[in-house]
Chains A and B, each alone.
Chain A
Amino acid sequence: MSTMSMQTDQDQSVPKMQTPQMPGSHLTLARGVLAFAGREFRDAVSSKWFLLYTVAFSVLAIAVSFVSLAGSGAQGFAGFGRTAAGLLNLIMLIVPLMALTAGAGSVAGERERGTLLYLLAQPISRTELLLGKYLGLAVALCCSLCVGFGLSAAVLAWRAGGVGIGSFLMLVLFTCVLALSMLSVGILISVMSRRSGVATGLGLFCWLALVFLSDLGLMAGTVIFRLRVQEVFALAIINPLQAFKMGVIVNLNASLDVLGPVGMYASQTYGKALPWLLASVVVLWVLLPLMLAIVLFKRRKGI
């Protein structure tokens, strides 16, 4: 009858009920993670959101580069400084949005489609699945950012020469770390949400809170509670976007004095340790939400 008739080679098909020897746990973990990461990367780069964000970021990055250079008529490092300042605002607006929505849709989307159950029924652990998804999305996001930055760098090299390329590369690196931190938050939201629509909504709210509301809240809190400068600084750098912004400004060899008394306080108090402090805050935002997401995912009573 059928196309489904099985090959019945008795010697081969009679199963042996021997427990398979599993290789070292770290090795199997890495293999599982890489298998998921590969699939997640392919899914991401072939998706519409990836294309849309990449195009949007690239076009805006090129536009900012042209406008900054044309506006100043500057050459060399001065031109780079203006471009980086322009890019900084663009990055703070778009990169968290990209990363949060990508992360938020990941696990919740699989859960909603029913594919998560099927994947969890395979010989993999929940940690492997989550780390694999994270890694795949992280690589896709960084590639997307590198396309935009690469085009912007081409404009800079053409109009302003190669001066300041080291600082530019640091900007790219900082931005990738910021993207990873927001991706971690997005994955955490995704693990906690049943539906991808809810997860995306929460991701957007989180973006709004980090980009706009926290600044407003900090300003209001400073006035109402008459916060001291060190308290304002501490509260400001809790927000990874603010830590990122200050880190980039310090990296541009600019004084944090432009940020007012809080910037002056930070420069005077922490000195050369300030870039490390700010980078640590953003790195903590990469690690802590991701670790919390893994713990919650492993402890879920259902899918």
Chain B
Amino acid sequence: MIEATGVTKSFKRVRAVDNVSFTLEEGDSLALWGSNGAGKTTLIRCLLGVFPCKGQVKINGIDVRRKGKHARSLVGYVPQELAFHDDARLGASMLFFARLRRVDPSRAVESLERVGLTGHEHKRVRDLSGGMKQRLALAIALIADPPIVVLDEPTSNLDSVGRGEVVEALRQLRSSGKTIVFASHRPDEVVSLARRVLIMEQGRVVRDTTPAALWPDDAPVVTMRLHINGNREQAAATLLREAGHAVHLNRSGLLVSVERHRKAEPISVLAGASIEVRDFEVLDDLPLGERSPDEIVISKNMKEALT
């Protein structure tokens, strides 16, 4: 169980994490979701006690600030950037972490087997592919069979095949009863792995929700991304607002939420004012991986405003 109360971390004048509180029960899985710079990684480092921060974090009742070493013995951690000594051999690295975690060296062999890296013990870390490094990180995280696994964007450096493998492995971990906390900005991962989602923006938790509430399968309202010709986005946004649509203008285009059966309406309104729509996409029909966290949150807010 993880209990975070008022966790705040500042770097000089920037608040990377701002008064975050949540409780996670045993066996639960939580996604920290948001754009780059939202504070997910800093929050994870605060949870691990690597960064000293204001507020309190307790892991299984142990205060991370006071007994960080003890608390971390309950957690397996997979970092975003895989940082191993490139010259080290895989087997030697595993044995080092087994010694560090005070577990029998045979656990190193078992853990490698668990992630399918048996037979690669003599390879140097620099010779491993991105996916194999990620699996090595997972093997190290699981070497002492900790009840909690914390992952920071575990698939960010992987191709789609590697991503699928890691997600599948994590899904099995979840079903085996491990408590999982992971940061991600990939909606497909969140839907696959999380029971709860904390949406973060500028260091704050803006919503504590579930994947099903965030991405319903049968939404009556959809959000479209319109690409306008001739730098006329601002005029188009004003026009659509006047026509009663929920509109949001950002760098990637103009977002408009409409009822599913009225998708053509915004385009007609703009055509009537001689504003040409170069292209459009229905966000809800795109694969989850092709939507940015910002767009999903904005879309959700706009839909709620409409309904």
Contacts and interface: CB of A to CB of B under 8 A. Distances in A.
B79 interface: yes
A114 B83 contact: yes
Given A20-B73, A121-B50, A4 B97 contact: no
B83 A19 contact: no
Nearest to A43: B85
B216 to A, nearest CB: 28
Contact of A5 (B26, B83, B145, B172): B172
B215 interface: no
B23 interface: no
Secondary structure dominating the interface of A:
loop
Interface string A51-81: 0000000000000000000000000000000
Interface in B202-223: none
A253 interface: no
A302 B10 CA distance: 10
Contacts of A301: 51-52
A17 B26 contact: yes
B1 A17 contact: yes
Contacts of A302: 11, 51
Interface residues of A, number: 42
Nearest to B1: A17
Contacts of A124: 69, 72, 100
A2 B100 contact: no
A7 B116 CA distance: 10
Given A17-B1, A117-B79, A121-B72, A35 B100 contact: yes
Contacts of B146: 15
B229 interface: no
Contact of A4 (B79, B166, B175): B166
A90 interface: no
Contacts of A14: 176-177
A19 B61 CA distance: 9
B280 interface: no
Contacts of B60: 17, 19
Contacts of A38: 96, 99
A130 to B, nearest CB: 14
Given A19-B74, A118-B83, A4 B135 contact: yes
B173 A123 contact: no
A3 B48 contact: no
Contact of B172 (A8, A32, A34): A8
B87 A46 contact: yes
A120 B165 CA distance: 27
Contact of A15 (B51, B68, B147): B147
B115 interface: yes
B303 interface: no
Interface in A4-59: 4-8, 10, 13-17, 19-20, 22, 28, 31-32, 34-36, 38-39, 42-43, 46
Given A6-B114, A35-B100, A46-B87, A123 B69 contact: yes
B101 A123 contact: yes
Interface string A110-146: 0001110110111111000000000000000000000
Size category, B interface: 35 or more
Contact of A122 (B11, B101, B145): B101
Given A17-B1, A17-B147, A7 B114 contact: yes
Contacts of B145: 13, 15
B181 to A, nearest CB: 13
Of B26, B72, B135, the most chain A CB neighbours within 10 A belong to B72
Contacts of A10: 176
A35 B72 CA distance: 17
B83 A2 contact: no
B45 A117 contact: yes
B177 A13 contact: yes
Of B1, B69, B97, B102, the most chain A CB neighbours within 10 A belong to B69
A31 B83 contact: no
Contact of B168 (A4, A7, A35, A125): A4
B69 A6 contact: no
B169 A4 contact: yes
Of B92, B102, B115, the most chain A CB neighbours within 10 A belong to B102
Interface string B215-243: 00000000000000000000000000000
9 interchain residue pairs of minimum CB distance: A3-B116, A15-B147, A114-B83, A123-B73, A6-B172, A13-B176, A35-B99, A14-B177, A123-B72
Given A5-B168, A121-B50, A121-B79, 4 more contacts: A3-B135, A4-B165, A13-B178, A20-B70
16 contacts: A1-B165, A2-B116, A6-B115, A6-B173, A15-B178, A19-B60, A36-B100, A117-B79, A118-B84, A121-B77, A122-B97, A123-B100, A123-B101, A124-B69, A302-B11, A303-B50
Interface of A: 1-8, 10, 13-17, 19-20, 22, 28, 31-32, 34-36, 38-39, 42-43, 46, 113-115, 117-118, 120-125, 301-303
